[in-house]
């Protein structure tokens, strides 16, 4: 019996990319549902997604990635659930590489490893922090623990929810899943996305990431959860 596959996409002001991302998902030929959670967008993200056949859930205001994912999960009951970022365009068809290990039982959760960035962004501090915190919590190393492209068995998501808010979403899922003994593997994918540039806006973005992830980790550690 075929396992149902649903792709869940949190999206905020992504009208430029969401269409091609949905196109790539449909081209993969393995997805049964595409659910886009429009996280309070001020552009035509929701309309573009709806026109291409995606199911759209609209939030009245921007609540952040973790909130959007958790909200969207309430309407998903497929055996396999895939999270994708809205800006990966037609390379979203590579999701088949994330789904296969979960569908065949080789993994409980997969994480997509992107090719090296074309343009220089930051200095890798956020990635190093994420790698360090995962290792400190689980004794294991993830190369691309911040990747938003991942596939899960539904029961795994139910066990590790709720997904943490903000930039801590991915690292929180990684640590929870691995500490609970689930098999998490990283899978190389030929995906591309909008890269954060080495400019003031980019440094502010990465700075927020760094401190938000660190604050989340310290809060969880103090509460003895980790």
Q: What is the pLDDT of residues 82-107, one digit of tens each?
A: 999 999 999 999 999 999 999 999 99
* pLDDT band at residue 222 using 50, 70 and 90 as cut-offs: low
What is the phi/psi pair of residue 99, to 5°?
A: -75, -40
Interval 101-136: pLDDT, tens:
999 999 999 999 999 876 665 568 899 999 999 999
Q: Which domains does the chain have, with CATH numbers?
A: 5-222 (3.90.550.10)
pLDDT given at position 147: 94
In this predicted structure, the answer to whether residue 10 has a pLDDT above a threshold of 70 is yes
Q: Report the DSSP pairing between strands 5-11 and 150-153.
A: unpaired
Residues 6+ apart with CB under 8 A from 209: 126, 167
pTM (two decimals): 0.91
Stretch 3-21: mean pLDDT, rounded?
97
From residue 101, give the alpha-carbon distance in Å to each of 26, 80, 145, 189.
Answer: 20, 11, 17, 13
In this predicted structure, the answer to whether residue 206 has a pLDDT above a threshold of 90 is no
Question: What is the three-class DSSP state of 151?
Answer: strand
Query: Is residue 200 packed enough to be buried (19+ CB in 10 Å), middle (13-18) or exposed (0-12)?
Result: exposed
């Amino acid at each position: 019996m075929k396992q149902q596959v649903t792709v869940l996409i949190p999206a905020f002001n992504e009208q430029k990319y969401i269409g091609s991302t949905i196109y790539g998902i449909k081209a993969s030929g393995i997805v049964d549902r595409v659910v886009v959670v429009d996280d309070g967008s001020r552009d035509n993200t929701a309309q573009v997604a709806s026109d291409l056949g995606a199911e759209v859930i609209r939030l009245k205001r921007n609540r952040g990635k973790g909130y959007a994912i958790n909200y969207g999960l309430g309407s998903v009951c497929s055996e396999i659930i895939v999270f994708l970022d809205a800006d990966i365009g037609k390379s979203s068809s590579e999701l088949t590489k994330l789904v296969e290990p979960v569908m065949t039982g080789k993994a409980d959760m997969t994480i997509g490893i992107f090719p090296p960035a074309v343009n220089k962004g930051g200095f890798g501090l956020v990635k190093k922090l994420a790698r360090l915190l995962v290792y400190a919590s689980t004794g294991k190393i993830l190369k691309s623990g911040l990747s938003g492209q991942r596939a899960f068995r539904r029961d795994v998501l139910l066990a590790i929810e709720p997904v943490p808010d903000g930039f801590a979403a991915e690292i929180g899922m990684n640590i929870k899943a691995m500490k609970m003994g689930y098999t998490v593997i990283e899978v190389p994918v030929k995906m591309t996305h909008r890269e954060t540039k080495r400019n003031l806006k980019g440094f502010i973005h990465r700075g927020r990431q760094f401190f938000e992830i660190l604050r989340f980790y310290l809060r969880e550690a103090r509460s003895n959860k980790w």
